[in-house]
Amino acid sequence: MPSIQEQIDALRTQIRHHNHLYYVLDDPQIPDAEYDRLFRELQALELAHPECITADSPTQRVGGAALSEFGSVRHELPMLSLANVFSEEELNNFDRRIHERLKDETELEYVAEPKLDGLAISLLYENGVFVRAATRGDGETGEDVTANVRTIQSIPLRLLGNDYPARLEVRGEIYMPKAGFNKLNQRLAAEGGKTFANPRNAAAGSLRQLDPRLTAQRPLEMFCYALGIAEGGKLPDQHYAVLQQFKAWGLRVCPDIKVVQGAKACMVYFHEIGAKRARLPYDIDGVVYKVNALKIQQELGFVSRAPRWAIAHKFPAQEEMTELEAVEFQVGRTGALTPVARLKPVFVGGVTVSNATLHNMDEIERKDVRVGDFVIVRRAGDVIPEVARVVLEKRPATVQVISMPAQCPVCGSEVKRSEEGAVARCTGGLYCPAQVKEAIKHFASRRAMNIDGLGDKLVEQFFEQGLIRHVDDLYRLTKEQLVALERMGDKSAENILAALETSKTTTLERFIYSLGIRDVGESTAKALARHFGSLEALQAANEETLKLVPDVGPISAMSITQFFKEAHNTKTISNLRELGVQWANYEAKPVEALPLAGKTYVITGTLSRSREAIKADLENLGAKVSNSVSKKTTALIAGAEAGSKLEKAESLGVSILDEAELAELLVMPKEL
């Protein structure tokens, strides 16, 4: 007679085998009733012998109480993202760059994979046992979602076989299959609940439930696509073979992956997947190509936090036609009025869009948009939807021209156009509640003071309740005030106060950025912090000295001096310091000491980031950015469809950098 432990082990092995057949291979080999009998037998034995229960037992998927919040996990190896291409030309450039770097023209073997529209996740296995799951987060630190991920039946709690590394991190995408998403939404609608806009949101919402019992009811799946940490054990030397190894360990891998030869075959794959996109059981937003040989991957390495050996080839933005019902003007932090299109709701690229940006009055005039027009709305990935163009053939006779209001729609102050004309601003300043509220939201935001949990909605609530009028009021909030608010429990109030306390220790660049000085974005704030070293030195600077800072032109220099001239601003700063906001100063570093000092660049063509952002990065490193190419130009940065500037640079023998080479320049400026 086998011992209890032996009986338990045998049952677990059998159940794991049938789980794998059912959930991973979709090929069940015993009737459900037989599986249930095995499962109940194991449950009964574990109930009688609780000392035998282990975390990797198939009975231990849903357990424990709801969490109050997710813990954080620091990724031992950062979870990077992929660079994107949008055309065959850009794909060919990617392939060419690799050949140039390798100094080898031999056609490369790529693994082509669908790019799922889900959430990137890291799974950690120790001695074959699942111990932790974490979201990507910001790539350095993610959220600990172990309890929720355990409930996903197709993710093994113990790897099959025994040839796995002692510590193995597998990365991939958690997603909700389309069929499961439709059923879930039907159920939510029948229960009178809120439905999800698309499978991605449904997957994210399900994985971020604090109660794992709720996650367990959601049809989540995972495809594994990359190795993270692998310690103690040998692995294949090709990416495709690694994926096959994942399968042998019982992990799910997308069945639509192919090995292809060269960039041309990547393009064929892209079209094949594009053609069957609508019929795939999961949502994708493009495909990914990876160099198959891991040795070559290693040789190529990384740039700008993305691998050089992989690229995402995205499907084009999606567009739909709808009617422009009205245009409203939103007032931003600096008083700028942004026209927002109110649209007849339309389903574009997986979400219902009823608002879209119209950018500014110049754009409205250039596109000749009028209220009542039929317009094309475009949505690409996570980008805010925009009105791309007007369908003039369908223009009704009743359309109305859009004009900028003369008074601020929020506070009634006069609206003035900037000298350049494009931006119109409310002149109300701190009198305008919209500007004050936006300034506080900006102050609390992740990239500014990073006050965890203090999102836009809470700022609105605090403001409407009269708890805050200026940013320093945030640090005077008390628990009594917070718990008196609607839907604010003890724990949430404590969390906010703790986050406020944590945010008090910051960096000089974050603090400068959080002040919300007009024309001072993140990169300018950083340049100012590095250049002046302390807030006192920055406050003492005049326009001339400010203009010496890379990234600071006459307009931002004026905005900065004006900001510090206002007594209420300096008062707010001293209040914040008295309330405990602090940072470490830097040793001031003048421009001449910067790595690209003395170099001049020109930017042309279509690039994935705005010219302003690239310019700011270059200037931060001490370079100058000019509008025209001459013999003195150090290099031309050329994106797609570069025209006459490219021709001129070629004729003058000026170096030409593409986007990847630019990324290298920004990371390692001294080497190029």
Catalytic residues: 115
d(CA 191, CA 213): 18
Tally of residues, the chain: 672
Q: Sort strands 374-379 and 370-371 into parallel, antiparallel or unpaired.
A: unpaired
For residue 241, give every residue at least 6 positions away whose Cβ sits within 8 Å of its Cβ, in sequence order, or none: none
Q: Name the nearest CA neighbour of 316 among 280, 356, 270.
A: 270
Closest CB 282 distance from ligand I6G, rounded Å: 12
Dmax (CA) for the chain in angstroms is: 91
Taking Cα atoms as reference points, which of 545, 653, 634, 652 lies closest to residue 596?
634
Q: Which two tokens stand for residue 326?
A: 């009205």
Q: Is the CB of 83 or the CB of 426 nearer to ligand I6G?
A: 83
Q: Are strands 374-379 and 318-331 parallel, antiparallel or unpaired?
A: antiparallel
Q: Decide if 215 contacts 231 (C-beta within 8 A).
A: no
Going by C-beta distance under 8 Å and a sequence separation of 6 or more, which residues neighbour residue 211?
A: 66, 67
Nearest approach in angstroms of CB 155 to ligand I6G is 17
φ, ψ of residue 532 to 5 degrees: the values are -90, -25
Q: How far is the CB of 118 from ligand I6G (least distance, A)?
A: 9
Q: Which residues contact 665 (CB under 8 A, 6 or more apart)?
A: 596, 657, 672
Rounded Cα distance between 175 and 547, Å, is 49
Amino acid, res. 134: A
H or E element at residue 186: helix 178-190
List all residues 6 or more positions away from 358 whose beta carbon is below 8 Å from its beta carbon: 327, 338, 339, 340, 341, 364, 369, 386, 387, 402
Half-sphere exposure of 324 (CA within 13 A, CB side): 35
Three-state DSSP class for 303?
strand
Rounded Cα gap, residues 333 and 437, in angstroms:
8
Closest separation in Å from C-beta 110 to ligand I6G: 12
Closest to 172 in 3D by CA, of 100, 232, 266, 246? 246
* Bridge partner residues of 226 (DSSP): 171
**Torsion (CA) 173, 174, 177, 182 in degrees, nearest 10:** -130
Amino acid at 26: D
- Give the nearer residue to ligand I6G in terms of CB position, either 296 or 629: 296
Query: Regarding beta strands 119-126 and 129-135, do their DSSP bridges make them parallel or antiparallel, or are they unpaired?
Result: antiparallel
Amino acid at 434: A
Shortest reach from residue 115's CB to ligand I6G, in Å: 5
Please give the angle made by the CA atoms of 161, 167 and 172, to the nearest 5 degrees: 80
Cβ-proximal residues to 128 (8 Å cutoff; 6+ apart), any chain: 158, 159, 162, 164
Looking at residue 544, its amino acid is E
CA 325 – CA 317 distance, rounded (Å): 23
> Residue written as tokens 């109030």?
493
Instruction: Supply 642's token pair.
Output: 């570069």
Using the structure block, give the residue that is written with the tokens 């073979």. Answer: 241
CA–CA dist 550, 666 (Å, integer): 14
Residues forming the site for ligand I6G (CB under 6 A): 80-82, 113, 115, 120, 225-226, 288, 307, 310
Residues in a beta bridge with 528: none
Q: Using the minimum distance from each CB to ligand I6G, give the nearer residue, 143 or 472.
A: 143
CA 283-169-224 angle, 5° bins: 20
Buried b vs exposed e over 13-38: b needs ≥16 C-beta within 10 Å?
ebbbebbbebbbeeeeeeeeeebeeb
Task: Specify the residue, 284 or 336, whose C-beta has the smaller distance to ligand I6G.
Answer: 284
